[in-house]
Amino acid sequence: MSDERDDIKLDEVRGIESGKRSDNTAGILKEKRVLSEPLSDVEARKRMTGYSRRGFITGGAAALIAVFGWRCMPDETKANLLRRSLEFDERVAQVFYRPTRLAPEFAPESVSAPRTNGMEGLEGEFDPASWRLSVGGLAGRNDDLVLTLDDIKKLPVTYMVTELKCIEGWSIIVEWAGVRFSDFMKAYAPKTINGTAPDVVNRPTELVPYVSLATPDQKYFVGWDMPSILHPQTLLAYEMNGRPLTPDHGAPLRIASPTKYGIKQLKRIGRIEFTAERPRDFWAEQGYDWYSGH
Amino acid sequence: MPKQIEYKHPLAIRWMHWINFPLLAMMIWSGMLIYWANAVYGIRIAGYEIFHFFPAWFYETLGIPYRLAEGLQLHFFFMWLFAANGVAYVIYLAISGEWRALLPIPSSFRRAGQVALHDAHIIKDKPPQGKYNDAQRIAYTGVILMGAGSIITGLSIYKPTQLAWLTALFGGYGWARWFHFWLTILFVLFFLVHVIQVILAGWSNFRSMITGREVVESGEPIAAEQEVAA
């Protein structure tokens, strides 16, 4: 049975190679076949045994090394490898990052039903009336500047209808109103790396490279890289879907930005600090990507 | 009857084929860890969901729940290896000329139909073929395109702001995730059919993906000195 089939197959190969058959894909695409000289049964079997031994030993060894290498890798080594991989991904993302690339904006009618997820930093007693924003790491001072919501609202307002993407995989369209973080930084400029006078607009790379944000109770905290927070669609938001923020959406002031997952868009900001050191990050400490950048 | 040994699969193709197996497996596994966190897809007929991806027993049996962070770490590590292997494979096909054995042409679709009818024992004649029949050409080229699709839809949900134009191409973030998911289901279906076909094709065919070689019957006589040697 199988001999007959192989026989037919080889006839086809010859027909294709000699150009006799042009009614098939292999002939039309000029497929090449590589055949040994004719061999006796014994010789063919002998050669195949040699090829098999070599192939299965090499393949088996490679498979064993791969499986045992991965399975027996100490947890710490594996965790390090995966964390470094995320950091590598971050560096690649930053090489290709351009602040001029914007997330799509939608019509206000396309706003989705709001959705909340996680209450970290939002539990416990909170009095909106006595809320103040502390800002550390500003140029020309060592102590925190303390601001009220009215101070923030004096800055130019920006509206945007963008898609909020949760790291879980869902997304909703939200209308935001607030102050561009870049506008906030123009009014309250951070320190520079070398202590020179800051120029947020023209020399942003001289600024300290990180921003730390935390809730008033400091139970939820995130770190941002300077390019992402300077993105024109990163807002210090105080309104959502046309109304002042409600407590579960981060009243009185939160981050809203389509440049990162929701885990980075801290609600109920208590303190902002501009810093040269990479800030701690609540979810990064749970194994999530520190950068989480879009 | 004399034999000839055909060198079917170059070494590079064999390595890339087998390396792809664990890489794709890791991408699918980590993808499931991620998908669990927002498991919204199902098969619906007339508004009624006949199958949900995935049933609770499926997640529990495999130990999938609450491993989103791990899934993302694995996905964003193995993605480089998966993409690099795929790109290397395509480059190799292009420069080695192996694409001639793999790509379909428009009339391949007709012949692929005949292959299917032949495999189903409905027609006796098998259409002429090279190393692969036309159904294989379509399937193997299709799976390369699926790989490219997975990378592109993956990128569009990985960087939906920096690559907003790409995400828009798929109809937005939600749809890009939908395409990414269904491409994965197609990969799983490809894998199942592929394994069944390999089993049906037999040992000699399977071994050729490891040794590169397969013995075929020869119509030509053996040279005299060889016959003596044997």
Scanning chain A, the segments in alpha helix (DSSP H) are 2-17, 25-28, 41-71, 75-96, 149-153, 181-187, 226-229
What per-residue confidence (pLDDT) applies to A2? 46
What is d(CA B108, CA A232) in angstroms, rounded to the nearest whole number? 51
**Residue A228 in 3-state DSSP?**
helix
Query: Which of B163, B158, B76 minimizes the C-alpha distance to A96?
Result: B163
Q: Chain B neighbours among A 58-77 (CB < 8 Å)?
A: 59, 62-63, 66
What per-residue confidence (pLDDT) applies to A8? 57
Cα dihedral: B7, B11, B13, B15 (round 10): 140
β-pair partners for B45: B48
Reply yes or no on whether the pLDDT at B23 is more than 80. Answer: yes
Instruction: Say whether residue A15 is in contact with chain B using an 8 A CB cutoff.
Output: yes
Q: Residue range B8-23: average pLDDT?
A: 97
**Which residues, in sequence order, are CB contacts of A80 under 8 Å at separation 6+?**
none
Q: Is B166 within the bounds of a domain?
A: yes
What per-residue confidence (pLDDT) applies to A284? 97
**Residue A240 in 3-state DSSP?**
strand
Q: Name the residue ranges covered by the structural domains of chain A.
A: 2-71, 83-286
What per-residue confidence (pLDDT) applies to A1? 39
How many Å lie between the alpha carbon of B167 and the closest alpha carbon of chain A? 10
Instruction: Say whether residue B49 is in contact with chain A using an 8 A CB cutoff.
Output: no
Q: Residue range A7-23: average pLDDT?
A: 60
Per-residue pLDDT tens digits for A229-245: 999 999 999 999 999 99
Q: What spatial distance separates the first Cα and last Cα of chain B, rounded to whole Å?
A: 13
**Which residues, in sequence order, are CB contacts of A223 under 8 Å at separation 6+?**
A210, A211, A212, A213, A278, A279, A280, A281, A284, A290
What per-residue confidence (pLDDT) applies to B219? 67
Determine the structural domain holding residue B105 and report its residue range.
26-205
Name every chain A residue with its beta carbon within 8 A of the beta carbon of B160: 103, 163, 165, 258, 294
Per-residue pLDDT tens digits for A119-164: 999 998 899 899 999 999 999 999 999 999 999 999 999 999 999 9
What per-residue confidence (pLDDT) applies to A115? 94
List the single range of B36-45, B54-63, B217-226 with lowest mean pLDDT. Answer: B217-226
Instruction: Say whether residue A7 is in contact with chain B using an 8 A CB cutoff.
Output: yes
Per-residue pLDDT tens digits for B176-201: 999 999 999 999 999 999 999 999 99
List the single range of A223-237, A267-281, B132-146, B216-230 with lowest mean pLDDT. Answer: B216-230
Name every chain B residue with its beta carbon within 8 A of the beta carbon of A161: none
**Residue A58 in 3-state DSSP?**
helix
The count of structural domains within chain B is 1
Nearest by CB to A294, from B131, B159, B226: name it.
Answer: B159
CB B226 within 8 A of CB A67: no
Q: A with B: how many residue pairs have Cβ under 8 Å apart?
A: 213
List the single range of A127-131, A163-167, B27-31, B139-143 with lowest mean pLDDT. Answer: A127-131
Q: Chain B neighbours among A 202-261 (CB < 8 Å)?
A: 233, 258-259
Q: Which of A20, A32, A39 to mutate to test the interface with B (most CBs of B within 10 A)?
A: A39
List the single range of A165-174, B75-84, B127-136 with lowest mean pLDDT. Answer: B127-136
Predicted ipTM? 0.90
What per-residue confidence (pLDDT) applies to A13? 62
Answer whether CATH 3.90.420.10 is correct for domain A83-286: yes
Q: How many CA atoms does the CB half-sphere of A17 hold within 13 Å?
A: 11
Average pLDDT, chain B: 93
CATH of residue B168: 1.20.950
Reply yes or no on whether the pLDDT at A206 is more than 90. Answer: yes
Reply yes or no on whether the pLDDT at B224 is more than 70. Answer: no
Q: Is B131 within the bounds of a domain?
A: yes
Nearest by CB to A51, from B4, B111, B213: name it.
Answer: B213
Q: Is B14 within the bounds of a domain?
A: no
Query: Which of A293, A292, A284, A250 minimizes the C-alpha distance to A83?
Result: A284
Contact (CB<8Å) A13/B130: yes
